[in-house]
Copies of this chain bind each other. A is one copy, B any other.
Amino acid sequence: MNIGAAARQSKLPTKTIRYYEEIGLLKADRAANGYRDYSEDDIHRLRFVQRARSLGFSVDECRQLLSLYSDRERASADVKAIALEKLGEIDRKIAELTALRQTLGHLVETCHGDSRPECPIIEGLSGKPASH
């Protein structure tokens, strides 16, 4: 299977697939004409990476997950450890964004948003202690 079809099946752009190969994440066979040739198994791996990336795993974590994916002897605990670590990261990010939303939301609420120049948002950013 050529890279274009692989891209359609894995929902990854061809550019990205080539990039993943370049960084040694996934390698492909080559056909006689030099074209990359993807097997069903390759497609599985591509989709696997696509899903893992969209769940927020870094490329390096994908590398780990892929090797666990290929290792039929590995303990599920090894996989769970990575996933739990990631879950913690996601929770931290959500907390951070929520605090941020809170602060910015407060600034927006207190701003009249009219034609006058007084603006609590600018004042807040410029360092005056927010009244909250």
| A residues adjacent to B (C-beta < 8 A) | 44, 47-48, 51-52, 55-56, 65, 68-69, 72-77, 79-81, 83-84, 86-87, 90-91, 93-94, 97-98, 100-101, 103-105, 107-108, 111-122, 124-127
Closest 6 CB pairs of A and B: A76-B119, A80-B113, A75-B115, A77-B113, A80-B111, A79-B119
Contacts of A115 in B (CB 8 A): 75-77
Tell me, in angstroms, the Cα distance from A91 to B102 when the chains sit together.
Answer: 11
- Kindly name the residue among A47, A104, A115, A118 whose own CB sees the greatest number of chain B CB atoms within 10 A: A104
Contacts of A111 in B (CB 8 A): 76, 79-80, 83
Chosen A-B contacts, 29 in total, with CB atoms closer than 8 Å, are A47-B126, A47-B127, A48-B125, A51-B127, A52-B125, A55-B100, A56-B100, A65-B122, A68-B122, A69-B125, A73-B117, A74-B119, A75-B114, A75-B117, A76-B113, A76-B115, A77-B113, A79-B111, A80-B112, A80-B121, A81-B113, A83-B107, A83-B108, A83-B111, A87-B105, A90-B97, A90-B101, A94-B94, A94-B97
